[in-house]
Amino acid sequence: MEAFVLTMPAPALRRPDFSLSPLARNVLLIAGSALAAASVIALIRLALGLAPATAAVRDVAILVHLGTVLPALPLGMVLFLARKGTRSHKALGWIWMALMAVTAVAALFIRELNGGSFSLIHLFVPLTFFGIVRGVSAARQGRIAAHRRSMIGLFFGALLVAGILSFLPGRVMWVWLTG
């Protein structure tokens, strides 16, 4: 009589392929979570009438910008922390890139500071588009290391750094958070 042996396919036994070092993962988790929490608190304060209702509340560009950047932040964190190359990674990656592109376009219409002109934070708009094009191109060509670098730069630069800058004193998110 032959013994029955149950085996698992090799991919199920492999550990997730993290593209970030432990330090970078921790920075991503801490900074991303803190930025998401500050954003949610600012919006809750605004919704409850605890923050000043600035003219930005009626600005469609700000509403579109917030409506796309807020889901892009946790989605980006999930993409960096989950297994790479799967169908869900690719599908969620396309959604994330679409959110980032709409966020960047909306940012072009947010010019309250600087008397209606662009400010330094607007430098992230062309960098976002550059990162999207470079990242997609690299992935399609099978240059995964270049894709990884582009996506890390896009997340840390266009989301974390730009997001932190949006909470500087005098900016809308700062007013809504501390108002």
- Judge contact between 98 and 106, C-beta under 8 A: no
- The total domain count for the chain is 1
pLDDT attached to residue 53: 78
**11 in a domain, yes or no?**
no
**3 in a domain, yes or no?**
no
**12 in a domain, yes or no?**
no
**Measured between alpha carbons, how far is 70 from 68 in angstroms, rounded to an integer?**
6
Kindly indicate the confidence band of residue 6, based on its pLDDT and cuts at 50, 70 and 90: low
Q: Which residues contact 80 (CB under 8 A, 6 or more apart)?
A: 18, 19, 20, 25, 28, 151, 152, 155
- Judge contact between 57 and 46, C-beta under 8 A: yes
Q: Tell me the two tokens of residue 45.
A: 């304060």
**58 in a domain, yes or no?**
yes
pLDDT attached to residue 13: 45
**157 in a domain, yes or no?**
yes
- Say whether pLDDT at 25 is over 80: yes
**138 in a domain, yes or no?**
yes
**Measured between alpha carbons, how far is 113 from 90 in angstroms, rounded to an integer?**
37
**Measured between alpha carbons, how far is 89 from 179 in angstroms, rounded to an integer?**
39
Instruction: Determine the structural domain holding residue 127 and report its residue range.
Output: 21-178
**10 in a domain, yes or no?**
no
- Say whether pLDDT at 79 is over 70: yes
